Amino acid sequence: MPPTSRVLEFTVNRTRRRYAGLPFRRLIDVLREDLRLTGTKEGCGEGECGSCTVLLDGAPVNSCLIPICQVQGRSVRTVESLGRPESLNALQQAFIDTGGAQCGICTPGMLMTATAWIEHGGSADRDAIRRCLAGNLCRCTGYQHIVDAVTKVARRGSRR
């Protein structure tokens, strides 16, 4: 039987990490418990709600559905890679300005899915933004304010 623990290497928010624990722990648990990156939230644990969304090599994924062994050699970005509390990035600021952040559980996941959208040159088309965010559930805002926030930043991006 091959060894069940083997050292894994990957980057999280541009920092190289070595992981020597169990290979079938979930990415979200390694982020929160080992690396103390508690910005990423677990909602449903079934891949339905998107609140645990992080970027894996730039693509939005549910960190509750990824065993850490599959992160070997790859790059992870979490909400901590965006702005700091004292200097929020444009998307975070837009969420606050439009009322897109309320209870906050879905917010880190929303921000990461929206970050992928913005960074891949996504348009300010509201329907397209809604489709992009379809895998992120919010029980507070009714989505309008979230779509407003992403639209605002996407519009700014397209003017650059």
Q: Which parts of this chain interact with other proteins (CB under 8 A)?
A: 1-2, 4, 22-26, 45-48, 50, 53, 56, 59-62, 64-67, 69-70, 113, 116, 131-136
First to last CA, the chain: 55
Nearest CB to other proteins, comparing residues 23 and 39: 23
- Among residues 55 and 149, whose Cβ is nearest to other proteins? 55
d(CA 95, CA 148) in angstroms, rounded, equals 8
Of residues 4 and 87, the one with the C-beta less far from other proteins: 4
Shortest distance in whole angstroms from residue 29 CB to other proteins: 8
What 3-state class would DSSP assign to 112?
helix
CB of 147 to other proteins, least distance (A): 13
Min dist CB 62 to other proteins, Å, is: 5
Closest CA to 146 of 31, 121, 105, 52: 105
> What does each C-alpha distance from 134 to 49, 50, 72, 129, 153 come to in angstroms?
9, 9, 28, 9, 18
Q: Which residue number, 21 or 99, has a Cβ lying nearer to other proteins?
A: 21
